[in-house]
Structure 1
C-alpha cells in the first residue's frame, strides 16, 4: 500500500497480522524499479522482522498502491454479457484502449465529473500490475511470470465522450482527471488466482455488478501475452482487464451524478473502494 497525502505517499507492507509496516528502509516508493527487483527484498524484510509499523498509519489517506505507471492499458468488452449489454458481439481478439496515467488516484479519493459530462459510468475491473518488461512473449504461461500483482481498479467512463465524441476511438471518455481509482492494496501474484475472483460494484448502496473473473473472454495470461506483441509492457504499468455486465451503458441503471457514491470490490484484493462524485473545478 501507499499512505499519505497526494505526491507524498509512504510505501508500506501489510503483514499477516494486518500491521502496516514502513517500507522506506527497502524502497522510496512502489514504482516500476521496485516491482522489478524489490518484492523479494520487501518480503524478506517483513519475514525477518526488520520493518517497524508506520506510526499513525490508520489515519493517513490511502493512495493508489502503484506510483506513476508509464501506461494504463485497458481491454474492452472482455466479458460476453457486458459486450451484449453494450450491443456488440464478443470480440475475437482483445480490444485495446488507453487511459492517461494521471487518471490513477487512490481508492477513496473523490471522482471529479467534467463540466459537460452527462453519462458518467462505473466499471469494476481486475487490474494487472506488470513486474518485468514484457515483449513478444511466446506463451500465456510465460506471460504470468511477468505479473507483479493485482489490484482493484475502477475504469470510470463518460459514455457520450467515449461513443459520440471520440471519432471511433474510446479514450476521450476514459481520460478525465480522477477517472481510475486503484487499490487499496497491491496483492502479489503468488497469492492470487486471477481467474477465480468475484468482482462487484454498488451505487448509493444498491447492487450493480456481480460476476467472476472466470467469465472473462480473454484470460489475464492471454491478455499479457497478446499485448506484448503490440506494445512493450514496462514494470509498474497497469492493465485493466475489462468489466462485467451491470453498468449504466446497459440502460438498466441511471448514469452517475454529483453526490452519488460508488463502491467497487474484488474479493481477495483487500477492502472495497468507495468514491463520491464531485463537480470538477476549472
Structure 2
C-alpha cells in the first residue's frame, strides 16, 4: 500500500478496494495485478492523449471546419482540466506538468524550424509550425513520472547529488539544440548518465512487496514505451519525420537514445518537486501473507 498522505482521494479509494478484495489472491498474482493497475493509472493522462490522437485520425473528417490540430488542443486542455477537477492530480503535480509543457514546447519550436520533424498543417492554435497540443505530450511524460512517484512510493539508494544530475540534464537539453550546429555529444552524455546512476537503484512499493530495479533499466524501459507511443503518433499522421513523408516506416530505433536522455531531464525536473528519499526497510517475500 502506498503512503496514504501522498495519494489523492480517488487513489485512496482504489487502494482501500485493493486491500479489501485482493487479500485472498495468491501473493505473487496479487502483486502482479496491483503493479499493472498502478501503471495503468499512472499512464492515464498519456493514454487519454494517445486515444484522442488515434480517434481523431480514424474518425474525424478531413474537411471539418475545426482543424484536427485545434481539436486535439481542446481535448488536451479538457483532459487536464478534468483530471484537476476530479482530483486525479494534485496541484503540486500541476507545476511539474506545466514545466514539462514549457520545456517541451520550446524544443518543439526549434526542432520543427530545422526540419527534424513536421506536423500536419491547419488550425490556429499553434506557435510557428508547432500545434499547441504537442506540449501536452511532454506533459504526459511528466504526469506519468510524478504519478508513479506517488503510487509506488519511490525510494532511491545511492542517488547521486542533485546538482550533478541537474548539470547533466541541462547539458542534454542544450545538446538537443546545439548538435545541429556543433559536434553532437549525446553519446558522451549517455555515458555520463550511466556513470552517475550506475549504483543507483529504485525501490518501488507494489502492494505488500517492495521491489528494486536499477534506475538505468527504468530509464530504458520508459524510453522504449515512449518510442512505441511515438510510432503510434506518426502512423496516425499527427506528426512525421522526413523519412516517413512519402511512405510510413518505423521511427528509427536510434531515437531511443534521445528518449533515454529525455528521461534524465524528466527525472531531474521531478526530483526538484519530490526530492529523492532513501529506502525504508525492504519488505521480504517471506513476509507476504
- In which range does the TM-score fall when normalised by the shorter chain? under 0.3
TM-score normalised by the chain length of structure 1: 0.28
Name the structure with the higher helix share: 2
Name the structure with the higher strand share: 1
